[in-house]
Amino acid sequence: MEKSTKKVATMTFHIAHNYGAMLQAYALEKKINQLGYDCEVLDYRFPYIDNWSGIRTLKELQQEFGILIGTLKFVKRRLTCYRKISPARKKFNDFMRNELDLSKEVYFNKQELHKAEYDYIVFGSDQIWNPDLTDGFATEYMGEYFSRKTKLVSYAASCGLDCFKPQWKEVYYPLLKKFTALGIREEPLAEYIAKNYGLNAKTVLDPVFLLEPKAWREPGKSSDLSVNRPYLLIYAFQTDDEIYRLARRIAKERSLKLVTISYQREEKLDDMIQLTSCGPRDFIALIENADFICTTSFHGMAFSIIFEKSFYCIGHPKYSSRNYSLLNMLEMTDRMVSRASDVNVIEDCDYSGAGKILEQKRQEAIDFIVNALEA
């Protein structure tokens, strides 16, 4: 496709060491480039996230602290603590630097953002509008500090809830009305914005669904982890026993090895292969090659759907509305349960109808992006 002269940046939590956060950043930037635009990820190191995720290069330390102090900090890290950085953290850092098309300029504070020269900035996905997640209201993720010449678009932006908290309600409006297009991740929030502010907000797919399975296989090919026998994969960010009870039952019935993506080893999971050094590439490959998946995660579920894997999701009691909304849209609500005993008969997923629905929603999402960037 012929490259557009329009210069576009996406702005999200691209540095967060979380599979969903980094892979949605990857997907949105890649899709916008596939559509013919000149797009990159704005390399803004949001301090609250950067403090626990970032691994600075020598050049970045020198830019932030000056040549002398930056060099000393780099040398000190190499001598004292670099070897202690976990393999998973290094893999996230490597993925960010080598798979994301990052802006050449790195921005360490919001006051520098006015120097970012783009025709459009696309904000999202993730909970970039959630003050609880950003340690206060982060107005830079709503377009403040950028040049007035830059057009603002949101794609699958979220505040993590169905509405803005009352104390922030009036703060959002003057910022939101500057956007030329509002793409929201959750339908209740889009409806809330339309009702309370009179603004046109559209619900759009999570960015990971913008890419076809073939495009996801490319980064997955570089994974250095593999399991040599048929396996059931567990990806759970809470260690409630229900998900493991269900997984053990399915694995026993289907003669599958149990494999879990874990942040640290746990004695109660000694009957499983516990993988504690997974990066984003490993996450993709492990899901693609699994024979069955049990998860509590939205993106664990999303990638199961992308690769048309059989799965069950046990949702969090408070934070599973988007999981259910996705499954409801795809007419697959039987794949989400509250406890292991809810599954009477273990069945494979039927994607005959879901695949067609997803393709239609993907095209609608692509149309939204193109219309937003042509406004």
Q: Where in the chain is the domain with CATH 3.40.50.2000?
A: 215-307+311-347
Q: What does the pLDDT read at residue 287?
A: 98
**CB burial class (10 A; 0-12, 13-18, 19+) of residue 253?**
exposed
Topology (CATH level 3) of domain 215-307+311-347: Rossmann fold (3.40.50)
Greater confidence, 312 or 265? Answer: 312
Looking at residue 237, what is its pLDDT?
78
Using 50, 70 and 90 to split pLDDT, how confident is the model at 233?
very high
Q: Is the pLDDT of residue 35 over 80?
A: yes
State both tokens at 6.
């329009």
With 70 as the cut, is the pLDDT of residue 257 above it?
Answer: yes
- What the block records as the tokens of 36 is 């013919």
pLDDT value, residue 327: 95
pLDDT digits (tens, 9 = 90+) for 138-163: 999 999 999 999 999 999 999 888 88
pLDDT for the residue numbered 32? 98
What is the model's pLDDT at position 54?
64
What is the Cα 363 distance to its own chain's centre?
Answer: 20
> How confident is the model at residue 196, as a pLDDT?
94
pLDDT at 220: 95
Average pLDDT over residues 50-64: 67
pLDDT (0 to 100) of residue 137: 85
Residue 198 region by backbone torsions, left for phi larger than 0, else alpha for psi between -120 and 50, else beta: left
Distance CA 12, CA 31 (A): 15
Sequence-ordered list of residues with C-beta below 8 angstroms from that of 366, at least 6 positions apart, any chain: 31, 35, 210
Fold of 7-211+362-373: Rossmann fold (3.40.50)
* Distance from C-alpha of 148 to C-alpha of 166, rounded to nearest angstrom: 28
Position 217 pLDDT exceeds 90: yes
Question: CA-to-CA distance for 243 and 162, rounded, in angstroms?
Answer: 26
pLDDT digits (tens, 9 = 90+) for 266-296: 998 999 999 999 999 999 999 999 999 999 9
Confidence label for 65 from pLDDT (cuts 50, 70 and 90): confident
How many CB atoms are closer than 10 A to CB 370? 14
Instruction: List the end-to-end C-alpha distance of the chain, in Å, as a whole number.
Output: 20
pLDDT higher than threshold 60 for residue 82: no
What is the model's pLDDT at position 72?
A: 72
Closest Cα partner for 331 from 309, 356, 296? Answer: 356
With CA atoms as reference, report the closest residue to 20 among 277, 300, 287, 213.
Answer: 300
Report for 70-74, 85-89, 228-232: range of highest mean pLDDT: 228-232
> The dihedral of CA 192, 196, 202, 206: what is its sign?
negative
Rg (CA), the chain: 21
Interior/surface letters 64-101, b for 16+ CB within 10 angstroms, e for the rest: ebeeeebeebbeebeeeeeeeeeebbebbbebbeebbb
pLDDT band at residue 168 under the 50/70/90 scheme: confident
| Res. 61 pLDDT band, cuts 50 70 90 | low
How does the average pLDDT of the chain come out, rounded? 91
| Cα–Cα distance for residue pair 214/275, rounded to 1 Å | 25
pLDDT at position 83 is 59
Across 180-198, average pLDDT: 94
